[in-house]
Amino acid sequence: MSSSDQTTHQENLSLGASAQEFLDYCAAEKERRLNSGEAFDEETFDQAVQMVINKLDVLADEGWS
């Protein structure tokens, strides 16, 4: 496991159930798109996922679950 994978895994441990479910969905969707043979901007996808996770983290800090 690479260093960035370990960091991501450690960060995921502190996520709520909804955020973890979202990440699981995104991982499956990313894999599906990568294997579809169609054009796929992996970097933009990853950035979008990170933006959502950041927002979920802020909401969790504010008491939303």
Tokens standing for 29? Answer: 């969707």
Average pLDDT over residues 53-65: 85
Please tell me what DSSP assigns to residue 35.
Answer: T
Place of tokens 């994978």: 5
Each residue of 24-55: pLDDT tens digit? 999 999 999 999 999 999 999 999 999 999 99
| CA pair distance 65, 61, nearest whole angstrom | 9
Dihedral angle computed from the Cα positions of residues 61, 46, 22 and 14, in that order, rounded to the nearest 10 degrees: -40
Mean pLDDT, all residues of the chain: 82
